[in-house]
Chains A and B, each alone.
Chain A
Amino acid sequence: MSHMPRRFFSGRFFSATVQREAFGVLALIGLTLFILGPISSVFLWAFAIKWRYPSLVPTEWGLKYWGETLARADILQALPLSFGLSIIVTLLSALICLPAAYAFARLNFRFRQPLLLSFLITNAFPRFGLYVSIAIVFFRLGLVGTIPGVILIQIVNTLLLMIWIPTSAFQSVDRALEEAALDVGASRLRVFWQITLPMVLPALAAALLLTFVSTFYESQGALLIGVPNVRTMPVLMYQYINNQIIVQYGAVISLILWLPSIVLLAFAQRFLRGNAVAAGFGV
């Protein structure tokens, strides 16, 4: 590592460029093996009927286990539950956080900055320890094993994202444009609907989508609070991995679980460029 920077900063010379790109090729090979290697086995297993060791690929291919997995009662129950929960959590979070984000960006009040910063606390707590202490409170309130309990614990996770990304979006809207519209006689509401909202819409969509996906995959709070009555897809996945009944079930569930993420991936390019994700971490 010690000699690395020297190469990078002498980009003016051809040989340095060659060396830099040689590093790039090595990184590409290494990352392909390390990042894509493990993922490839999920795909292979999902379409395998038989895979006997020591064969490198499945010995018999087919969709047999897709039908079997999708017919399982626990999955048929968990799939709509997971989608429903994630939609409810995302909408509730938006309802709670978006007006606050607007206030943080646009209104002037004392302690605005410390209050906005206080949401970073959600990042500064070790997650699982926090969930355990919430679970103990919920236990006394009778919220363990209930859907409202799971919704509440999952909302905690969404606050920072749903406040910081929209706040920075509202701040970046050009105030002059709004004032011009006000000057020519548009009402405040109309200015908000026709000027402010369209400009922040991409960032809001990013925040909603990120919240939905991260809630869909949230497993720790759901595991602590939901069990035994409320089993979301990720919680079910814990069981399938630990009990290892049939490998293909886990692989098929993995691919199904992935769907929301692939939608996210499709939109990702847009908002990764806008640094929206980094804003969610407070960068």
Chain B
Amino acid sequence: MNIQRKRFDFSALAGYVLVTPPLLIMIFLIFLPALQALVRTLWVVPPAGTGASLSLVHYTTFFDDPIARANLWFTGWITLTTVVLLFLVCFPLALYLRFSNSRIAAAVQILVLFPLFVPSIILAFALIRFLGPRGTVQTMLELIGITGYKTPYLRASGIIIGLVWDSIPFTVLVLTAGLRGVDNPLLESARDVGANSWQVFWRIVLPLIQRPLLIAFCLNVIGIFGAFTIPYLLGPAQPQMMGVFMLQTYSEYLDKLGAETQAVITFLFCAVVGALYVRTIAKQGVR
């Protein structure tokens, strides 16, 4: 009995000691910088006098600036469009991969996972050469007599294409993992009692894969809202997505507080979705 208790105490102590280093890194490199950004943008020191006070002046400056507003709106719009497109592409693919065991399905699976192994920068370079002016697509179209090709490079559509390409594997992976949890016998018995495919889909499959669906949605929204590489290399100079806007404010205008304000605004926009993500996983429980 005595020994048991001693070992338990030791184990708990060891547990705390062992998990402390990564926790410290997280506290010092995530929580504190984020908190500091929040405090510094809210706690304003007036240029002339002394005595800092709580003020929303940095935020009103942001929302009074038509360029900043346009960039925020643009980021939200790109995020929404990309996520909708992603699900339209990935859901049928995931369903197909779940219900087919053919060789075609194996090939589809390989292609779907392939972007996982292509870094965004290579993708950006490739898309510029493929879709850009005088690129492969334009050349091909002109070979078959179609002229007037408008390149998506340096346009919103360029960003969307790049982000969809980049996010396909993750989305399909999560959705397929969710669909594998749906038993075949369950679907068959539902059909036996007369449910049609549509009912099976809405009443049985969809509720069962709610969690993976939510995880895929949340992580895609956060990833796309905070994206940098693809919009920086493929997007227009104006309007910009928030990541590009932040880099410009930070390193070209050398406006640190402005960049911090923009960062906090992206945090707040993603906080809702981020909380939903953490809650979804917390609810399913960690073993």
Q: Chain A: residues with CB nearer than 8 A to chain B?
A: 1, 4-11, 20-21, 23-25, 27-28, 31-32, 34-42, 45, 53-56, 96-97, 99-100, 102-104, 107-110, 112-113, 115-130, 132-137, 139, 152-153, 155-156, 159, 163, 168, 171, 217, 219-220, 223-224, 227, 234, 237-238, 241-242, 247, 250-251, 254, 257-258, 261-262, 264-265, 268, 272, 275, 277-278, 281-283
- Asked if B68 lies at the interface with its beta carbon under 8 angstroms from chain A, I say no
In the docked arrangement, what's the CA distance between A8 and B184, Å?
Answer: 12
Check if A283 sits within 8 Å of B275, measured CB to CB.
no
Smallest beta-carbon distance A209→chain B, Å: 12
Check if B117 sits within 8 Å of A124, measured CB to CB.
no
Sample (24) of A-B pairs whose CB atoms are under 8 Å apart: A10-B191, A24-B96, A35-B111, A37-B130, A38-B165, A42-B129, A54-B143, A55-B139, A56-B143, A100-B18, A110-B12, A112-B15, A118-B26, A124-B275, A124-B277, A126-B226, A126-B243, A127-B228, A132-B246, A133-B36, A238-B121, A261-B119, A278-B174, A282-B215
Instruction: Give the chain A neighbours of B274 by CB distance below 8 A.
Output: 121, 123-125
The 7 A-B residue pairs whose C-beta atoms are closest, nearest first, are A126-B226, A124-B274, A109-B15, A6-B197, A129-B263, A103-B18, A107-B15
Instruction: Give the chain B neighbours of A258 by CB distance below 8 A.
Output: 118, 122
Instruction: Give the chain B neighbours of A117 by CB distance below 8 A.
Output: 278, 281-282, 286
Instruction: Give the chain A neighbours of B140 by CB distance below 8 A.
Output: 56
Which residue among B168, B223, B256 has the maximum number of chain A CB atoms within 10 Å of its CB?
B256
Fill in one digit per residue for B39-73: 1 if any A CB lies within 8 Å of its CB, else 0.
Answer: 00000000000000000000000000000000000
- Asked if B233 lies at the interface with its beta carbon under 8 angstroms from chain A, I say yes
Per the 8 Å Cβ criterion, residues 81-107 of B in contact with A are 88, 91-93, 95-96, 98-100, 102, 104-105, 107
In the docked arrangement, what's the CA distance between A53 and B138, Å?
Answer: 10
Check if B104 sits within 8 Å of A21, measured CB to CB.
yes
In the docked arrangement, what's the CA distance between A122 and B26, Å?
Answer: 8
A24-B102, A28-B107, A132-B259 known; A4-B21 Cβ under 8 A: no
Check if B222 sits within 8 Å of A242, measured CB to CB.
no
Interface of A is mostly: helix
Known: A34-B165, A242-B233, A261-B118. 18 other contacts (CB 8 A): A5-B95, A5-B200, A35-B112, A54-B142, A56-B136, A99-B21, A100-B23, A108-B15, A121-B278, A123-B274, A129-B243, A133-B33, A156-B25, A219-B229, A254-B126, A268-B116, A278-B173, A283-B212
State the total of A-B contacts with C-beta under 8 angstroms: 324
Smallest beta-carbon distance B222→chain A, Å: 6
Sorting the interface of chain B by its residue count into under 10, 10 to 19, 20 to 34 or 35 or more gives 35 or more
Check if A9 sits within 8 Å of B111, measured CB to CB.
no
Check if A283 sits within 8 Å of B125, measured CB to CB.
no
A8-B99, A123-B219, A268-B117 known; A97-B26 Cβ under 8 A: no
In the docked arrangement, what's the CA distance between A277 and B34, Å?
Answer: 28
- Asked if B29 lies at the interface with its beta carbon under 8 angstroms from chain A, I say yes
Smallest beta-carbon distance A246→chain B, Å: 13
Instruction: Give the chain B neighbours of A109 by CB distance below 8 A.
Output: 11-13, 15-16
Instruction: Give the chain A neighbours of B247 by CB distance below 8 A.
Output: 128, 132, 223-224
Check if A277 sits within 8 Å of B173, measured CB to CB.
yes
- Of all chain B residues, the one with the shortest Cβ separation from A218 is B119
A108-B8, A120-B281, A219-B229 known; A129-B267 Cβ under 8 A: yes
A10-B197, A37-B136, A100-B19 known; A128-B256 Cβ under 8 A: no
Instruction: Give the chain B neighbours of A4 by CB distance below 8 A.
Output: 92, 95
Check if B120 sits within 8 Å of A219, measured CB to CB.
yes
- Asked if B30 lies at the interface with its beta carbon under 8 angstroms from chain A, I say yes
